Structure 1
Amino acid sequence: MARISVLDDEVSLDEPTLVEGFPGVGLVGKIATDHLIEAHDMVHYANVHCDGLPRVAVYHESDPSLTSPVRLYADAERDLVALRSDVPVNPGAATEVAGCLDTWFEDTGAFPVFLSGLGREKDETPPDLYGVATGNGGDALSRAEVEDPPESGLVSGPTGAMLAESLERGRDAVGLIVESDPQFPDPEAARVLILDGIDPIAGTETPTEGLVDQATEIKNAKQAFAKRMQEATEESSQAEPLKMFQ
């Protein structure tokens, strides 16, 4: 049965900003949300049980407690929620997962910020960041001075399904698309997401020195996860150009 199981009833949220971190190109969404959770010492607020999510249990170093692979972490002071996912989502299940989370968006009045990587070969220039929106989400992009996309494209995977759900329901939401390494974890792109997108929209200030100083360590830590995603049949969230006549 699809449900969000709240673990900490003392956490009080008032129309929070929800940052989504399903794995995708460059693992930018996962790296960014993992960093937000650690930087702001966010608490494990809820477990996500949606039809379509892999039926697996997750454990962590020095802790015997099992958790669900998709979880919500909260910072009540900043009215911030981060979705952390330790698994990719099968493309056939993306719509189910989007519908499951949509109920929580409706109940809490959350403003979702969806994250995607756009595969681009790395060079010396910083990765560009673009924004898309549904409902009145464009107002948040304007305030944050996030650029419009320079070309047509589409967002796939669970992130694309949740954006489509927001579009269908007329919900206010934004999608942040950052140029990312198409093959390897990209902490630099995740840093751009946080500094130029998430922080201005959510009204937060997130220290990102760790993402720069520990870039090699982060890449190594995420490498096995990235390889597992490439080998799996699941489709990760990603943005891609929309070619004519496809």
Structure 2
Amino acid sequence: MARITVHSDIELDSPALVEGLPGLGLVGKIAADHLVSSLDMEYYGAVRCNGLPQVTVYRADSSELMPPVRLYATEDGSLVVLQSDIPVSPQTTEGFAECVTDWVVSNDVTPLYVTGLPSEKDADVPDLYGVATGDGLSLLDEAGIVPPPEGGLVSGPTGALLAEASDQGVTSVGLIAEASKQFPDPEAARSVLEYGVEPLADVEVDTDDLVDQAEDIREARERLAERMQQAEGDESSQAQPLRMFQ
């Protein structure tokens, strides 16, 4: 049975929800994980929606089992994060999106859905764009978040969540950050947090750790590129993405 089971005494106060499903550049997941850690958020509930595999996860040096998709909340109930250790199957996104959206509506939640836009640029501060449903357009205007410069589509479970929000007339925001197609992108996650989550959710987030991660990953990418250039044999294969969001 599709459900979200609450395991906390925290009372939600019309919170913003930051979605952290794995996707391109792991932008949403990195942002969500950082929020949970840096704000010392409390485990709030288990997400048991249709489309999620019946598995459990555990952490290093801990015997405690946890659901793979979880909700965390701040002590004052003003912010909720959906943290996920697994992807959602494309074949089951509809049921998952319905389950999450029903919970969003019943708890007066404003969801911020996060996705990455494939980019070839290596900017220190990746561009962030916004799309919206319901009254989300006014939230974007107030936060100074601009629309994407080109048309496209949002695919995968995040796209399904936005589509379900649109169908139900729910106010939601989609945060689209330019991100690496090949590597985890903490720089893109930092843009989401600083220029998206902070103004929209009225929260302050220390992103210094993400800056350090970005520098380490950039150095690793450069070393990999050098090794590929020095390798003998055929040129490395590559694929060009369609002009769409992933």
Q: TM-score range by the shorter chain?
A: 0.7 to 0.9
SS in 1 for 2:153: strand
Give yes or no for the alignment of 1:40 onto 2:39. Answer: yes
Structure 2: segments with no counterpart, 5+ residues: 220-240
TM-score (ref. length: structure 1): 0.87
Q: What is the Cα deviation at residue 219 of structure 1?
A: 8.7
Alignment match, 2:172: 173
Structure 1: segments with no counterpart, 5+ residues: 221-238
Alignment match, 2:2: 2
Alignment match, 2:155: 156
Change over 3 Å in CA distance of 1:219–1:115 after alignment to 2: farther
Alignment match, 1:188: 187
Alignment match, 1:231: none
Alignment match, 2:13: 14
Alignment match, 1:67: 66
Q: Which one-letter code corresponds to 2:96 in the other structure? A: V
TM-score (ref. length: structure 2): 0.87
* Bigger Rg over Cα: 2
Change over 3 Å in CA distance of 1:25–1:204 after alignment to 2: same
Q: What is the Cα deviation at residue 218 of structure 1?
A: 7.4
Distance 1:150 1:124 in 2: 17
Q: What is the Cα deviation at residue 107 of structure 1?
A: 1.2
Alignment match, 1:54: 53
Distance 1:218 1:49 in 2: 33
Given that 2:129 and 2:175 are in contact with CA atoms closer than 8 Å, whether structure 1 keeps it comes out as yes
How many positions carry a matched residue from both structures? 224
Alignment match, 1:233: none
Given that 1:18 and 1:82 are in contact with CA atoms closer than 8 Å, whether structure 2 keeps it comes out as yes
Summarize deviations over 1:182-235 as a string: whole Å, max 9, x none: 010000010000000111100000000011123366799xxxxxxxxxxxxxxx
Summarize deviations over 1:55-94 as a string: whole Å, max 9, x none: 2110011211111100000003260000000001110111
Q: Which one-letter code corresponds to 2:33 in the other structure? A: D
Change over 3 Å in CA distance of 1:75–1:125 after alignment to 2: closer
Q: Which one-letter code corresponds to 1:241 in the other structure? A: R
Alignment match, 1:227: none
Distance 2:208 2:189 in 1: 12
Select the structure that is richer in strand. Answer: 1
Summarize deviations over 1:126-172 as a string: whole Å, max 9, x none: 31110000000011111110011101010011100010000001110
Aligned CA-pair RMSD: 1.9
Q: Show the 5 A alignment for 1:194-209.
A: 194-209=193-208
Alignment match, 2:144: 145
Distance 2:202 2:10 in 1: 19
Q: Which one-letter code corresponds to 2:86 in the other structure? A: V
Q: Which one-letter code corresponds to 2:243 in the other structure? A: P
SS in 1 for 2:112: strand
Distance 2:27 2:242 in 1: 15
Mean alpha-carbon deviation: is it higher for 196-205 or for 211-220? 211-220
Alignment match, 1:241: 243
Given that 1:78 and 1:204 are in contact with CA atoms closer than 8 Å, whether structure 2 keeps it comes out as no
Given that 1:58 and 1:66 are in contact with CA atoms closer than 8 Å, whether structure 2 keeps it comes out as yes
